Amino acid sequence: MKDLKTTIGLEIHVQLKTKSKMFCRCDNFAEGKAPNTVVCPVCLGLPGALPVANYQAIEWTIKTGLALDCEIAKVAKFDRKHYFYPDLPKGYQISQYDEPFATHGRVEMSNYKYQTSNSKEETIKIRLNRIHLEEDAGKLIHSGGKSLVDLNRAGTPLMEIVTEPDITSPEMAGDFLRKLQKIVRDVSEVSEASMEKGHMRCDANISLTDGTIMSPIIELKNLNSFKFVEKALTLVRAHLAETYDSRPKKLSKETWGYDSVNNKVYLQRRKEEAADYRYFPCPDLPPFESSVFDLNKLRSELKEDVEQKLTLLRDLDVPGTYAGTIALNNKWYDSFILLRQRIGDDYCIDIAEAIAQLPTYFGDLKGNAVGEIDFKAEVIKNRSTKSAMRKIFEKALANPEMTYLEIKSIIDSEMNEFDDEKIGTLITDIIEKNPNELNRYRQGEKQLFGFFMGKLMKETQGKANPQKLNQLLREKLETK
Ligand code: ZN
Ligand code: MN
């Protein structure tokens, strides 16, 4: 077979997690609500209703543009895109035509696994054509031979991200989407970006070429999982390769569907010419000037992406398993950074270990002094016990200004009350008072260790290092 190059471009719709819809004040979280209950004259497009643009949605689109290295338009506007479909009873969608909020961005990805690209660079760049903002349509529900319309979703803000055809394999398309999901979820923090829930939907265009002649372009619509994107593109690519020589060499476009149950692709329709949506500027919405937004501030609010975080953690000698856990969660990563500043670089590994092992402590840590002090005590958990720690929490809570070193010195002094000798005497005492248990233990009932440990913990009132207690107790029990 000929050496055919694969070209893939993607269009991704990302649902923004704003409180209200794009052009009205309806609740933007209509999932699971009774059909047609989260609607108003604006999102229904009733005659005379006036849309008002959601400032937050525009700000987030621009913020995402910054996260994706885009140029932010000085002036942008909304246009009406006309088409008829039952889930769009008003007859047009408010979208953006020739003046979107952001253009010319890029996503960089590690190049190590893509043999197909000739580049020897460590990273490959997927260029982005544009990011625009639009409203979603409603939903059709087909059941019992009827088609029903639910307009709860109508007017939900959607960010549409369009790539250049820089993707060279189905696998690369999947990886690109995973990376993009992380960016909108964790870097610009504008969407839950769940593919299953439809917060992120992907259309893919694919064609093959031998360098001179191009196959038709096949468009796959509304793919809703990363795996489906990869599988559907793989199937369509195989089809294009098989039919490459027998096809009429006239540039054409086809829309194909993907049946995920049977893992099959099928032709839906041939496109003779581009649809004419009769775009025109939305007369109800004035153009926007980006000078309204403080771009530097928005840029400073972007979170680092996972790779940047991993690099920093590795540079600080944080072990790989902890680094991976922390880098994937913004809250934990923020906690790490905050505590590193407060506690110091010497304790980076302790901090990382505590964060990675005690996620429940960090749910609300961000900006929470109480949580932070809990944490500080947890960091040194190996030199402490629960009840000693509770005391330290209490002291620390009474004095939020207390530094890590002060907390540590309290812990140390608490722990010094029981030295090895003192612990040894306690253990001997406990063993002598419980000869039956000692006998059974020595005859093999090893679970009785807990019985002795419990007594010992009670005697030391949680003021001794549990690891040390454990070690000394075991030695005494085992030596006859
Ligand atoms: Zn509404
Ligand atoms: Mn769209």
Q: What is the CA(19)–ligand 1 centre distance, in A?
A: 12
- Note the ligand closest to the C-alpha atom of 158: 2
Q: What is the CA(124)–ligand 1 centre distance, in A?
A: 42
Entry field: residues in the chain: 480
Under 8 Å CB-to-CB from 423, ≥6 apart: which residues?
Answer: 456, 460, 464, 468, 469, 472
Q: In what order do the strands lie in the sheet with 253-259?
A: 71-72, 102-110, 123-135, 157-163, 5-15, 200-209, 217-223, 253-259, 264-271
Question: Does 50 lie in the same domain as 80?
Answer: yes
Q: What is the CA(134)–ligand 2 centre distance, in A?
A: 7
Question: Does 430 lie in the same domain as 399?
Answer: no
pTM of the prediction?
Answer: 0.70
- Note the ligand closest to the C-alpha atom of 42: 1
Identify the CA nearest to 69 among candidates 306, 333, 302, 288: 302
Residue 226 lies in a domain: yes
Question: Does 247 lie in the same domain as 195?
Answer: yes
Question: Does 68 lie in the same domain as 158?
Answer: yes
**Chain mean position to CA 412:** 40
Q: What is the CA(115)–ligand 2 centre distance, in A?
A: 32
Instruction: Provide the pairing of β-strand 146-150 with 139-143.
Output: antiparallel
- The residues whose Cβ lies within 5 A of ligand 2, an ion, are 160
Instruction: Write out the residue range of the structural domain in which residue 427 sits.
Output: 420-478
Residue 257 lies in a domain: yes
Question: Does 114 lie in the same domain as 21?
Answer: yes
- Note the ligand closest to the C-alpha atom of 133: 2
Residue 333 lies in a domain: yes
Residue 455 lies in a domain: yes
CA distance 34 to 32: 7
Q: What is the CA(55)–ligand 2 centre distance, in A?
A: 19
CA distance 376 to 354: 9
CA distance 446 to 452: 11
- Note the ligand closest to the C-alpha atom of 39: 1
Residue 470 lies in a domain: yes
Q: How many domains does the chain have?
A: 3
Q: pLDDT in tens for each of the 480 residues of the chain?
A: 568 899 999 999 999 999 999 999 999 998 889 999 999 999 998 988 999 999 999 999 999 999 999 999 999 999 999 998 999 999 999 999 999 999 999 998 876 666 555 556 667 899 999 999 999 999 999 888 999 999 999 999 999 999 999 999 999 999 999 999 989 998 889 999 999 898 999 999 999 888 888 888 899 998 989 999 999 999 999 998 888 888 766 667 889 999 989 999 998 888 766 678 899 999 999 999 988 899 999 998 888 877 788 888 988 989 888 888 888 877 778 778 877 776 677 778 777 776 776 544 433 333 445 455 555 555 554 445 545 555 555 565 556 566 666 666 666 666 666 778 888 999 999 999 999 999 999 998 989 999 999 898 888 876 777 778 888 999 998 876
Question: Does 320 lie in the same domain as 431?
Answer: no
**Chain mean position to CA 236:** 29
Question: Does 411 lie in the same domain as 322?
Answer: yes
Q: What is the CA(87)–ligand 2 centre distance, in A?
A: 14
For the record, the structure tokens of 283 come out as: 């007369």
Q: What is the CA(252)–ligand 1 centre distance, in A?
A: 39
Of the three residues 386, 415, 444, the one that is the final residue of a domain is 415
Question: Does 432 lie in the same domain as 404?
Answer: no
Residue 461 lies in a domain: yes
CA distance 128 to 10: 9
Under 8 Å CB-to-CB from 118, ≥6 apart: which residues?
Answer: none
CATH number at residue 427: 1.10.10.410
- Note the ligand closest to the C-alpha atom of 221: 2
Residue 378 lies in a domain: yes
For the record, the structure tokens of 225 come out as: 């999982």
CA distance 472 to 469: 5
Compute how many other C-beta atoms are within 10 angstroms of the C-beta atom of residue 346.
8
pLDDT tens digits for 366-422?
344 545 555 555 555 444 554 555 555 556 555 656 666 666 666 666 666 677 888
Residue 298 lies in a domain: no
Question: Does 390 lie in the same domain as 270?
Answer: no
Question: Does 276 lie in the same domain as 127?
Answer: yes
Question: Does 149 lie in the same domain as 177?
Answer: yes
Question: Does 248 lie in the same domain as 319?
Answer: no
pLDDT tens digits for 41-75?
999 989 889 999 999 999 999 999 999 999 999 99
Within 73-216, strands assigned E span 75-76, 79-82, 92-95, 102-110, 123-135, 139-143, 146-150, 157-163, 200-209
Of the three residues 292, 316, 342, the one that is the final residue of a domain is 292
Of the three residues 396, 415, 434, the one that is the final residue of a domain is 415
Under 8 Å CB-to-CB from 123, ≥6 apart: which residues?
Answer: 108, 109, 110, 111
Phi, psi of 167 (to 5 degrees): -90, 130
